[in-house]
Structure 1
Amino acid sequence: MSMPAKPPPFDPADPLGLDDLLDPEDLAVRDTVRAWAGERVLPHVADWYEKGELPGVRELARELGGIGALGMPLDGYGCAGASAVQYGLACLELEAADSGIRSLVSVQGSLAMYAIHRFGSEEQKLRWLPGMAAGEIIGCFGLTEPDHGSDPAAMRTHAKRDGGDWVLNGRKMWITNGSVAGVAVVWARTDDGIRGFVVPTDSAGFSAPEIKHKWSLRASVTSELVLDDVRLPADAVLPGATGLRGPLSCLTHARYGIVWGAMGAARACFEAAVDYAKSREQFGRPIGGFQLTQAKLADMAVELHKGILLAHHLGRRMDAGRLRPEQVSFGKLNNVREAIDICRTARTILGANGISLEYPVMRHATNLESVLTYEGTVEMHQLVLGKALTGIDAFR
């Protein structure tokens, strides 16, 4: 009888051995994005956050395009054609730096590019996707309105036929990338139902004033979209999408990235808490040697790595074509909620230092308050799961 192989040493950074689930290409993608974020974001993001700005966003977008992070899982048109798991790993590493950076990538790839790639004409794909994949063109996605967030079916933005053209009027709110975008995918009510339109942002009547006075996602461009008699040619409409199924499928793709990204923010806070607990001394010893602190760290580690394992499982299902929207709701509901709890617990370990921008904890905690509600609030995902579990629709 052969002796069982000796298990590898326990790795505090990977207590479940989740790296064993990744192949060399997965690890290479993760390491590339981690290195880029460590060099280009982490040294500056606290200052960006404090000032409430994201300077050089167009340069950052081109760099992200250069490492293949924009429209990662899409095929052709200059896109990387990466796996869903690789895209998820990239989202985790980007959000470990800052949620605003992951939002930039998510809106570009999972919303604007995904909508054009899935529902657009060949001419639309050829016109927009290569430049967007390279980061030369930034995109945004206009669905949410000032009075209609969780109920997009009630949107007021409308598009009317005028001869061979479309004329769009309305407002969209809380739009990431809006003020720096070269193209906007805008959803509007028409006589034939809700349709998507590819809107060049230099169109007459289009404007995107930036939203200020945010206390979350401060290192991110957030805007209102204003459409006043924006005239578009007939071929501006996305031919493959009619009704809410189109924009909702885009949101499912973006929510998948959040399942991973939230764990990146949680990991950054957990690592800060561990480092602090090992170096901060009270009562003559590091606070990491006290039972209550160790209990907090153990609970944080359990939820963090369970969340990463859940994200990995959903990624493999997406790669196999078996991922359902209800499962994405499961992941977003759990992982964002647990990430916020990890950040808040990390703040207690750091004490007063936890509110300082010298550490990442409070920045991630406030960012996650936005992540908690965008791409579907907690209540919406609870109701999605409730309907799936009972067969009863409780939305109305």
Structure 2
Amino acid sequence: MPDLTNRPVFGAEHHEFRALVREFLAREVLPNAEAWEQAGIMDKQVYKAAASAGVLGFSVPEEYGGLGIDDFRYNAIVAEELAIAGGVANGLALTLINDILAPYLLRLTTEEQKQRWLVPLASGDMTFAIAMSEPGAGSDLAGIRTSARRDGDDWVINGQKTFISNGILSDAVVVVCRTDPEAGHKGFSLIVVEDGAPGFERGRKLDKIGLKTQDTAELYFADCRVPAGNLLGTEGRGFMHLMENLPSERLSIAISGIAGARRTFEQTVQYAKDRQAFGQSIGSFQANRFTLAEMATELDIAQVYIDNCISRVLDGTFSAVDASKAKWWCTELHKKVVDQCLQLHGGYGYMLEYPVARDYQDVRISTILGGTTQIMKEIIGRDLGF
């Protein structure tokens, strides 16, 4: 298991929290891995257990049932520990809720909405999803066609969303809608659609290459009616609300990438010591030894950058460009490390009983979700003046 404690960015209280997260995963998640794998979805009650353990909703103020911890290092620890646990833990939507949904509900809600959504989020009684992607709009959010129009005291929503993480288990979905078709980027709004809303249907649970226990779904809205009070934030500022939260989301993905890569790498180092070929360990062959040396170096360098990013979140200097650099580089490195580690396992790496094979399936989405590698490079390139 990677030792992630000897890093100046973390203090004693963070090490205690890391131990708490590991204990929660060992107690509530890992023993259920086989059952959840067979079911293709996890038990929703795990989110109540996560909230009770302080692993979910810790940023929510105490008056709304949380711990009132406004410190991104706690988010980073959860992301790292899920990645280190690997397997079924990768399917938990804890980072989705802690890093994406909770900030929206903290920053954009009215007092009435906080009582309705934030309090049950902190207790684990409600889980949430965010619906951006559509069949014809992924990275290009400006291509979103799902519409919402006012009709008296209601919003009426029509459209379709796809690739929605936590789309089956969620009790409420933050839906990105076009509320003014003539206003361009200023024509989008965020509207919360709760379970049971008339005209709201969940489609199939999508069959994916990896992350089998994380429910990813299609969502349909056919004259779906929700109260006008379900508008999240300001009408017409939905696109800006999304942009405000994307840097921390992308950094969280990068953090998970490096932690997951370290896990796979360390398991492979041990395998390379134990596995014998031609009378010696396979790690002692120069070609393999050099491959492992390169990965060890790249992971150490990436970890330094990640910790610097975390520090910049804390002092308020972290930017969308920084997040784009971290996201594309760390996820591409994660993919590269897993691929090389599988190669070092030889035929055994192709067998699903070995963790590296599962890692190979799960890692592929990392360079796509949260913004593809190509989009990240586009953001960086534009910042350079091109």
TM-score, normalised with respect to structure 1 = 0.89
Task: Answer yes or no: is the 8 Å Cα contact 2:159–2:221 preserved in 1.
Answer: yes
Q: How does 1:305-316 map to 2 (within 5 A)?
A: 305-316=300-311
Please state whether the residue corresponding to 1:178 is helix, strand or coil: coil
Q: 1:199-229, CA deviations, whole angstroms, 9 ceiling, x for partnerless residues?
A: 1121111111233321122121101111111
Which of the residues 39, 44, 47 maps onto 1:61? 47
Please give the alpha-carbon distance, in whole angstroms, between the structure 2 residues aligned to 1:382 and 1:204.
41
Which of the residues 175, 186, 191 maps onto 2:164? 175
Which 10-residue stretch deviates more, 353-362 or 319-328? 353-362
Give the root-mean-square deviation of aligned CA atoms: 2.2
Does residue 108 in structure 1 map to residue 113 in structure 2?
Answer: no
Which of the residues 14, 17, 21 maps onto 1:29? 17
Which of the residues 206, 229, 239 maps onto 1:235? 229
Give the drift of 1:309: 2.1
Amino acid at match of 2:169: V
Q: 1:169-206, CA deviations, whole angstroms, 9 ceiling, x for partnerless residues?
A: 11111001111111111110112710101111211111
Q: 1:262-318, CA deviations, whole angstroms, 9 ceiling, x for partnerless residues?
A: 112212211210111111111112222222222122211122222222221111111
Amino acid at match of 2:42: P
Task: Answer yes or no: is the 8 Å Cα contact 2:78–2:95 preserved in 1.
Answer: no
Give the drift of 1:89: 1.8
Amino acid at match of 1:250: N
Please give the alpha-carbon distance, in whole angstroms, between the structure 1 residues aligned to 2:289 and 2:363.
24
Amino acid at match of 1:159: A
Would the alpha carbon gap of residues 228 and 98 (structure 1) be closer, same or farther in structure 2, given more than 3 Å must change? farther
Which of the residues 213, 216, 226 maps onto 2:207? 213
Please give the alpha-carbon distance, in whole angstroms, between the structure 2 residues aligned to 1:100 and 1:194.
35
Would the alpha carbon gap of residues 314 and 73 (structure 1) be closer, same or farther in structure 2, given more than 3 Å must change? farther
Q: How does 1:302-381 map to 2 (within 5 A)?
A: 302-381=297-376
Please give the alpha-carbon distance, in whole angstroms, between the structure 1 residues aligned to 2:54 and 2:354.
29
Name the % identity.
29
Please state whether the residue corresponding to 1:147 is helix, strand or coil: coil
Please give the alpha-carbon distance, in whole angstroms, between the structure 1 residues aligned to 2:22 and 2:7.
15
Identify unmatched segments of 5+ residues in structure 2.
none
Please give the alpha-carbon distance, in whole angstroms, between the structure 1 residues aligned to 2:65 and 2:304.
30
Would the alpha carbon gap of residues 299 and 73 (structure 1) be closer, same or farther in structure 2, given more than 3 Å must change? farther
Task: Answer yes or no: is the 8 Å Cα contact 1:256–1:328 preserved in 2.
Answer: yes
Please give the alpha-carbon distance, in whole angstroms, between the structure 1 residues aligned to 2:39 and 2:304.
33
Give the drift of 1:39: 4.0
Match of 2:252 in 1: 257
Amino acid at match of 1:354: G
Please give the alpha-carbon distance, in whole angstroms, between the structure 1 residues aligned to 2:164 and 2:120.
20
Please give the alpha-carbon distance, in whole angstroms, between the structure 1 residues aligned to 2:300 and 2:66.
30
Does residue 301 in structure 1 map to residue 296 in structure 2?
Answer: yes
Would the alpha carbon gap of residues 335 and 171 (structure 1) be closer, same or farther in structure 2, given more than 3 Å must change? same
Would the alpha carbon gap of residues 20 and 111 (structure 1) be closer, same or farther in structure 2, given more than 3 Å must change? closer
Give the drift of 1:17: 8.2
Task: Answer yes or no: is the 8 Å Cα contact 1:211–1:222 preserved in 2.
Answer: yes
Task: Answer yes or no: is the 8 Å Cα contact 1:266–1:342 preserved in 2.
Answer: yes
Identify unmatched segments of 5+ residues in structure 1.
1-11
Would the alpha carbon gap of residues 350 and 48 (structure 1) be closer, same or farther in structure 2, given more than 3 Å must change? farther
